[in-house]
Structure 1
């Protein structure tokens, strides 16, 4: 006679996986809230509704970080084998869960303090910055910021306590192998699909995986981006991305003698000064075009008609620069180069450590002259992070 108690739906291994991941989401949200509460003076113009919106938007970045850091935990839950119900196996799963999420919680809480000095979420560059430091120097952090240490310990204890409440039990009915294994493989495929989608930050094949710059899409000010992001995500997304090495070839005085970069407009000799005030400013950005395709820019070639009749019709009524120089090599380099004069480097600006820096752009400059700016893009929303960059660059609207 089988006297085994019929297990609850909440002990189903797939439901347990969801509950355990939900627990991590809650812990990440708590650290995000504390990130703001312990640094309120660093985030101006923040009301309850706006803060709630930022925390909600941050869930997308949390999902990516949690999917990456808990990928082994997820895999161990969805492997299509019966031994995953064994007590020893589940013990190993719990240890891995504790380790990876303790690291995630700790990194988020360390940034509560470290952000005050860097004004950005910690990236993988921190390992280069402190590679020559004595590790014992960091021990003082535990004592100097004892309240952060206390919060970290409290969150870890909460995590362990809640985790132990969520237990896996063997199914009450043992399915035959020809039913069990196909079903388990199907569930594994479904879980794998959603895990990869969470890592990427979306399920649309035409968009790039989200990165730090995508957070700019949801904020009013660049510094608010740190609330949307989380530190594990920032480290993961910048891992392996090169940083620019600062070069000092000249001191300031010597450099100014060679070339003084600040340009002052002489209003007396500049015939076009103030002639276009109040007029619309329109930039048309082409993909994979060159000067040789534009007929009106090659009038010196006899019989050359070109392939841009509409642009040719505009040239006759526009202020035209006949010389063009590439400031970027790839599509993702284009907008930072054209809109904000940021040249390309080894890593595109949108994907780099510097994507959260405050920048000036054509839109932000024109805004000071009461212009309204809009960017129209033919690709799907989110493509190459352009929508987020336009927000960061100060455009009033984006239409994709």
Structure 2
């Protein structure tokens, strides 16, 4: 029976078992490195998550090892020879090593993205020329991640070599080939079923959403998943699909995708928008006066002082997870769902935005970002929005102020911004800051000048806050200053220290501030309503006196009109919407969770409890909003 290749088949099973074993190690390490963000109540809960994660591991492992399995079983007689086995060894460890490293990259990446790695990262990095520097800095800052990876790979190689295929020359070639073909056919069936996640034809292949079935808290779905699965499963995927849940009349009444304001403005205000990199609400004292966080420390003294003379919103949320998501949300009122609009096939279309509104009103419009031109995809998307001018590192033209990795330091670039805008009025200018980006450096002259905090981002946030102060000092002397509205917000959140901000929804909590030295705009006070980035665009259109209908899923925060408020964001697995007194989670087909508005951690799912009439209506609003979003994005109705 030597011709029946049980030895090679069993050793193949052993080698695949090793992949499963190390994927579970990677899962544990992913949780361990992010345990402050991923609270698991007990050992039993962890093992339950790890058990259900095996299905997602299977898909990932078979994606990566399909060719290795074929090469191990294909009947070519020389399979058991030392040379061929050495070839298999290198194929196995090169392919698995690269894929395995995805998980380790997520040990760090997750803290910034709040989601597992997906193929959308390709659209982010394609515009960057500094990836080597970013990788080296990340490695230096997180040496234990690299050490853990090297140790795992060393142990993996050791265990692989412990079991070897012994050379056997087949005597009966007919039996050899027939048995090999039968084993290959049986294995192929198992591989197809494993990749799909199920053998039933009626069941769709598992995807990221399915991880939520195995956890009570949606955030823990990231532990169920692995980074290889989430990356490969999202390659060439398009979750943008036309759906039909409700009639258009329901959308017009309950969603109101078009807003119309009739404010009369004598002299149109200039507008300056600061989108501050990684500026989580957690860092700013003005937005935390009622959070009751013990021993709270603020790292934004200037923003805190400016807030006393501004209209601030203490319950504001980001509509995305990455910088380019923040740009589309703040300027165009387009949130990013499971798949980001900005990396979709539909992003290159005519879009109504605060930029097009300003252009329509005769404003001079400009966008500033101190990184190399094209970084983050801002230049391309800025062109789609219609900015008349773009100013980046190239236009700044002084590399002495370059931080060496990302961009011109905030302080000099803000001064450049202050001195360059306002040459033509009215104007709308947006600046996307950069110095509070990983690897969280500050200029040498400020080393030791700021208070140390428990997070690496605390010093850069203080540096950006100081840069803002110096910007306003310069701007206040300009002739355009008095009739200008300033907006300060964030693109997304970042590192988390206080448990309050580890809650699922609070991972999107950002500051939102409107300020003007001109009292006629009445931009003062503290508003505790739940608001979002996509409200900025209609608010500014209202303040600028734009009296034509605008396409907007947000609402004006300074209007007396009663308008629908649906807070929208996504954890990259499913959508999250706040409507009225409840938070709803939605997977593109049905509402999967209902949580009280105060349950920002999404810990108590009420989906199986009897529902009130208001909840039933809100669930229809969730579907209606999603339907309208898909219709407008796909059918190019964003103008």
- Shorter-chain TM-score above 0.5: yes
Q: Indicate if the aligned counterparts of 1:363 and 1:395 stay in contact, CA closer than 8 A.
A: no
1:1-400 aligned at under 5 Å gives the runs 12-133=7-128, 134-137=130-133, 138-171=135-168, 174-241=170-237, 243-245=340-342, 249-250=353-354, 251-256=537-542, 258=549, 355-360=572-577, 365=582, 390=592, 396-397=607-608
Per-residue CA deviations over 1:353-380 (Å, capped at 9, x if unaligned) read: 964245138899399xxxxxxxxxxxxx
CA–CA distance in 2 between the matches of 1:83 and 1:61?
34
User: Structure 2 CA distance, aligned partners of 1:46 and 1:197?
Assistant: 33
Contact 1:210 1:385 in 2 (8 A): no
Could you tell me whether the CA contact under 8 Å between 1:199 and 1:209 is conserved in 2? Answer: yes
SS of corresponding position for 2:36:
helix
Equivalent residue pairs, number: 293
Find the aligned partners of 1:66 and 1:364 in 2 and give their Cα distance: 42
Shift of 1:165: 1.1
Partner residue in 2 for 1:345: none
How far the C-alpha of 1:209 sits from its partner, in A, is 0.9
CA-to-aligned-CA distance 1:200-251 (integer Å, 9 cap, x gap): 1111111111111111111111110110001011110111235412766123
Structure 2 CA distance for partners of 1:363 and 1:209, relative to 1, 3 Å: farther
Q: Larger helix proportion, structure 1 or 2?
A: 1
Separation (CA, whole Å) in 2 of partners of 1:165 and 1:37:
29
Q: Is contact 2:40–2:46 with CA below 8 Å preserved after alignment?
A: no
Could you say what secondary structure the match of 1:81 adopts?
A: coil
Q: Output the CA distance in 2 between the equivalents of 1:230 and 1:156.
A: 17
Deviation at 1:38?
1.6
Distance in structure 1 (CA, Å) of the matches to 2:168 and 2:95: 28
**CA-CA distance at 1:47 after TM superposition:** 1.7
User: Aligned in 2, Cα 1:193/1:39: closer, same or farther, shift over 3 Å?
Assistant: same
The aligned counterpart of 1:3 is none
Aligned partners of 1:167, 1:238: CA distance in 2, in Å? 36
- 1:61 and 1:233 in contact (8 A); partners too: yes
How many angstroms does 1:182 deviate by? Answer: 1.1
- Structure 1, unmatched stretches of 5+, are 1-5, 265-339, 343-348, 368-383
CA drift at 1:254: 3.7
Structure 1 residues 28-87: Cα deviation after superposition (integer angstroms, max 9, x where no partner): 000100111121110235321111111111000000000000111111111123121122
Q: Deviations over 1:298-334 (max 9, x none)?
A: xxxxxxxxxxxxxxxxxxxxxxxxxxxxxxxxxxxxx
Distance 2:79 2:589 in 1: 43
Cα 1:45–1:82 shift into 2, 3 Å: closer
**Residue ranges of structure 2 left out of the alignment (5+ in a row):** 239-339, 355-536, 544-548, 558-565, 596-604, 610-639
Q: What is the root-mean-square deviation of aligned Cα atoms in Å? A: 3.6
CA distance in 2, matches of 1:188, 1:392: 47
Distance 1:180 1:363 in 2: 68
Is contact 2:114–2:571 with CA below 8 Å preserved after alignment?
no
* TM-score normalised over the length of structure 2: 0.42
| Kept in 2: contact 1:124–1:239 (CA 8 A) | yes
Whole-angstrom distance in 2 between the partners of 1:21 and 1:10: 17
State the secondary structure of the residue aligned to 2:137: helix
1:178 is displaced (CA, Å) by 2.1
The alpha carbon displacement at 1:184 in A equals 0.9
Contact 2:22 2:152 in 1 (8 A): yes
Deviation of residue 141 (structure 1)? 1.9
Question: 2: distance between equivalents of 1:392 and 1:225?
Answer: 17
1:319 is matched with none
Q: 1:117 to 1:356 in 2, by over 3 A?
A: same
Once the two structures are TM-superposed, the CA of residue 132 in structure 1 deviates from its matched residue by 2.1
